[in-house]
Structure formats: structure tokens, C-alpha cells
Structure 1
């Protein structure tokens, strides 16, 4: 029997929970990329993190990525966090997200993502996070 979210939160005190993507198919795809080792970075609009938000990633903190159905999927540890404008995201960071083969592909996919989720501006500030996989909770049980 797999562990529930309460058990996982007890194992990782201070962890925040989050979901990759904005729909079930994208979420499953991104979790698979993390599991494969291809995805070691992620980003979100800075506007989604009000001042003092506990959701803001912090280096060294371990957080729990959820499946779309809110069950725990995996645990990541934040390695680095920076804030940069969308237009300043580097190819190195874009490729570390594991979703695209080029910076241009990343820009197109993320422009569409941000348009679906509150608006897009090439100057918008992003929280850019690099992380490492700590535990794949699908292997539990």
C-alpha cells in the first residue's frame, strides 16, 4: 500500500506541495520527464508568489510534486532559485526544463502556457528553479 500525503508530509517537514503543468496530461508528461532525469528545472510567473508566500521555492527545501489527482508523485529538493525576465531565460535553463530541444521551442510552449494562466508579457518576471529528484513515490508500496 502506498503512503498517503499526510505520511509523506510527516517524512518531509516544511515541504510544500505543488503540481507540474496546468492539466492532467501535461502534469503526467512533466512528472515522467523528472523521473527520467531529463527535467531538472522549472519556472512559474513571479506574480504567483505574493510577498512572503510559503510556496516560493527555497534552496535546500524538499517539496512534494503531486499527481493531478492530488496523490503524492515525487519529492524534489530545490538546488537554486533565481528571478529573471521571460526574455532573459537562457538556453541552458530552458533545456534543463527537459520539455524542448531548443530555446525557441521553450519560448513558444511557455508563452502559450502563460497566456492560458493569467497572461503573458515578454518582460514578465519568472521564478526559475533548479532541482534534483530525491524520491520517486511511485516506487513505494
Structure 2
């Protein structure tokens, strides 16, 4: 089952709430991108649950995914909104660290910060390879260990409950 698109009206409402509590935020009139973790509603909910629980503070995606969508790569300081598996926006995130490298450049600290599986580098490599092998044909690219991976750390900045 594919992910439903984010609810644009709800994304705007969450972003407006965030802006009202952060009136000095420059250049923030338009809502940032709204994204979902994973490729299925169940995976999106599971990974968002890790964010809400405070266990997940990093994510990884492929540069080719941004290229296929015609999207720019994130920048440090960018905000983005994480939605659940139904497309409902739940939290505003802020990118605090970005690095590009091959999959095998992941280190123990990043694997732990991503908060998935048993938190080890070995588990991270196994699960991410399996994920990208599964989604590559659907998204229209061929998986290769040499593809650029965007390693991103983030903070939860809104709403106050799950915020860091």
C-alpha cells in the first residue's frame, strides 16, 4: 500500500501554529516540505512513533530520490514537517546536520541516532540496503552501494510536547 499524500490544509495549520509561537523566524511564510518516513503507512507510523518517543533524531535518504522528485537537497537550518501514515502532519523538524556519503560510510553514532532496529551499524546497513533494494524499482532507479546517501540529523521543534 502506498502512502497517501500529506494533508495540505493540516500542514498549513501546523506550520501556522509553529509560526505563531516563533514570531521572529525569518522567511517562514510558506510551509516547508511535508514528508513521511518510509514507503508504507505502517512504516511511516512506526518511524514517526520513534521520533515522538525521542528515540529517532536522524534519517537517511538517497540523493537520487531528490533528483527524481526535482527537489533540492535540504540545508542545515531547514524546517520540514513529518506526517503519519495517513498524511496527517504531526511534528515540525529542523535539520541540524547533513552529510553525503556512500552507504558504508554510516557510523555507529548515526545508526544509534536513527533509532531503528537494535541501533547497531550492522542492523542499519542490512535494513537500509533491503529498503532501498525494495523501493528502487518502484521509484525508477537501480540500487548500488555507491549511490550518495544523505545522512541527516534533526531536532523536533514543534509542538512543545515532543519538541527537543
Q: Structure 1 residue 77: deviation in Å?
A: 0.6
Tell me the SS of whatever aligns to 2:51.
helix
Provide the C-alpha distance between the structure 1 equivalents of 2:160 and 2:38, rounded to a whole number of angstroms: 19
Match of 1:8 among 8, 14, 19: 14
**In the alignment, what sits opposite 2:128?**
110
Bigger Rg, structure 1 or 2: 2
Q: Report whether the alignment pairs 1:125 with 2:137.
A: no
Q: Aligned pairs, how many? A: 137
Q: Structure 1 residue 9: deviation in Å?
A: 3.7
Q: Is the 8 A contact 2:34 2:81 kept in 1?
A: yes
TM-score by length of 2: 0.74
Q: CA RMSD in A?
A: 2.4
More strand by share: 1
Give the unaligned 5+ runs of structure 1.
none
Q: Is the 8 A contact 1:74 1:137 kept in 2?
A: no
Q: Is the 8 A contact 1:67 1:73 kept in 2?
A: yes
Give a deviation string over 1:14-46, Cα, whole Å, max 9, x none.
511111111111111111111111111001011
Tell me the SS of whatever aligns to 2:67.
coil
Q: Is the 8 A contact 1:43 1:127 kept in 2?
A: yes
Q: Which has the higher contact order (CA 8 A, sep 6+)?
A: 1
Provide the C-alpha distance between the structure 2 equivalents of 1:71 and 1:137, rounded to a whole number of angstroms: 17
Give the unaligned 5+ runs of structure 2.
1-8, 20-27, 137-141
Provide the C-alpha distance between the structure 2 equivalents of 1:138 and 1:47, rounded to a whole number of angstroms: 34
TM-score by length of 1: 0.85
